[in-house]
């Protein structure tokens, strides 16, 4: 355990903004749906009282072990009840029923992978390390790896995944190069895939827009973990579990995640669009949320300098109105 906490280094993103936006009270039930290394949660735990509850969820065993050790080591005067659950926030209903939660006052979703997940080569998330192409967030429960997708999807399915989940301009060429390459031998490692992507993208285009494999790796990770449908499901459940006045905070790191957050918030915040003078509402609008961030909250230049991973972060917040 000591080993895990020493190695698990992840700087929490938009920490003070999250604490402020959570509107924490000592008796709150706070659900951290993406516990990671408990960067946010260890600060939340210090602000809850003995009548408060902190529920931490992560599907990653390594994250949960590190977070558990960190939270246990906090010297708290009035420790809240702390419950850590291993699972996917796509199954929020089951997890919160298991925790016997009557309702929730604040949810935090800090999406994506943590720095240690990227840094442990065996997880296969990083295009910078040579590792097996895995990318499963929960290797114990998920069976389909990135290698399996790369070696079995046909060219049009590969193009769809890469294009839809990353806006990669060269998606269809990358897909073709993948299919041609695997005819000789299966593609099993991240460096094999990086070389194929580099060969598929013309040299002039390769120089722009960061590492040429970044977008394809993001697309594969989203597909392996069904990230967008899981996010929609998790947010929908969070809206149901929220107590009146409670808040949902979501930190996203790319436009596809951010779009899902905006859509779910907007759907539940939709106000009546009937023409004035109609005796009863016919459009069926029934707002339960108020969006508190018309524009997302972004990290400061100072935060980005100290933690480059925060560069693409966007925090959106909504409050339950009834």
Ligand X SMILES: C[S@@+](CC[C@H](N)C(=O)[O-])C[C@H]1O[C@@H](n2cnc3c(N)ncnc32)[C@H](O)[C@@H]1O
* Contacts with ligand X, residue ranges (CB under 6 A): 10, 12, 34, 36-40, 57-60, 63, 88-90, 110, 112-114, 137, 230
Q: Which is nearer to ligand X, 10 or 247 (CB)?
A: 10
* CB atoms closer than 10 angstroms to residue 30: 25
Q: Which is nearer to ligand X, 187 or 250 (CB)?
A: 250
Is 39 assigned a ligand-binding role in the annotation?
yes
Q: Which is nearer to ligand X, 161 or 224 (CB)?
A: 224
Is 38 assigned a ligand-binding role in the annotation?
yes
Given a contact cutoff of 8 angstroms between Cβ atoms, the answer to whether 239 and 268 are in contact is: yes
Nearest to 181 by CA among 169, 191, 190, 193: 193
Q: Which is nearer to ligand X, 12 or 52 (CB)?
A: 12
Nearest approach, Cβ of 312 to ligand X (angstroms)?
Answer: 12
- The token duo for 33 is 């749906």
Nearest approach, Cβ of 90 to ligand X (angstroms)?
Answer: 6
Nearest approach, Cβ of 177 to ligand X (angstroms)?
Answer: 30
Q: Which is nearer to ligand X, 128 or 206 (CB)?
A: 128
**Cβ contacts of 122-129, under 8 Å, gap ≥ 24:** 124/190, 125/217, 125/221, 126/190, 126/217, 127/190, 127/193, 127/194, 127/211, 127/213, 127/214, 127/217, 128/211, 129/190
Nearest approach, Cβ of 207 to ligand X (angstroms)?
Answer: 29
Q: What's the maximum distance between 2 C-alpha atoms anywhere in the chain?
A: 70
Nearest approach, Cβ of 213 to ligand X (angstroms)?
Answer: 21
- The token duo for 259 is 């779009």
Is 117 assigned a ligand-binding role in the annotation?
yes
Nearest to 173 by CA among 152, 153, 200, 199: 200
Burial (CB count <10 Å: 0-12, 13-18, 19+), residue 95? buried
* CB atoms closer than 10 angstroms to residue 36: 25
Nearest approach, Cβ of 41 to ligand X (angstroms)?
Answer: 7
Q: Which is nearer to ligand X, 212 or 234 (CB)?
A: 234
Is 58 assigned a ligand-binding role in the annotation?
yes
Binding positions for S-adenosyl-L-methionine are 38-40, 58, 89, 110, 117
């Amino acid at each position: 355990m000591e080993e895990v906490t020493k190695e698990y280094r992840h700087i929490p993103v938009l920490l003070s903004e999250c604490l402020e936006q959570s509107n924490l009270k000592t008796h709150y039930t706070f659900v951290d749906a993406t516990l990671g290394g408990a960067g946010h949660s260890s600060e939340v735990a210090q602000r809850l009282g003995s009548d408060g509850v902190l529920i931490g969820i992560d599907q990653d065993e390594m994250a949960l072990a590190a977070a558990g050790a960190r939270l246990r080591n906090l010297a708290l005067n009035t420790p809240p009840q702390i419950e850590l659950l291993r699972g996917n926030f796509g199954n929020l209903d089951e997890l919160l029923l298991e925790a016997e939660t009557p309702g929730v006052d604040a949810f935090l979703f800090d999406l994506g992978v943590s720095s240690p997940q990227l840094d442990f080569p065996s997880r296969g998330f990083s295009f910078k390390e040579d590792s097996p192409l895995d990318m499963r967030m929960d290797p114990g429960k998920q069976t389909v790896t990135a290698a399996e997708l790369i070696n079995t999807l046909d060219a049009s399915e590969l193009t769809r995944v890469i294009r839809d989940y990353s806006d990669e301009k060269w998606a269809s060429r990358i897909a073709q190069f993948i299919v041609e390459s695997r005819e000789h031998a299966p593609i099993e490692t991240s460096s094999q895939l990086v070389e194929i992507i580099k060969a598929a993208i013309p040299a002039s285009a390769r120089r722009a827009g960061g590492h040429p494999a970044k977008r394809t790796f993001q697309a594969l990770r989203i597909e392996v973990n069904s990230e967008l449908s899981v996010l929609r499901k998790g947010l929908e459940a969070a809206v149901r579990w929220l107590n009146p006045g409670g808040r949902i905070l979501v930190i996203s790191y790319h436009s596809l995640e951010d779009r899902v957050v905006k859509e779910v918030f907007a759907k539940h915040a939709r106000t009546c669009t009937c023409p004035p003078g109609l005796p009863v509402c016919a459009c069926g609008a029934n707002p339960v949320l108020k969006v508190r961030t018309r524009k997302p909250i972004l990290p400061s230049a100072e935060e980005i300098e100290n933690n480059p991973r925060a560069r693409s972060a966007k925090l959106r917040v909504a409050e339950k109105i009834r």
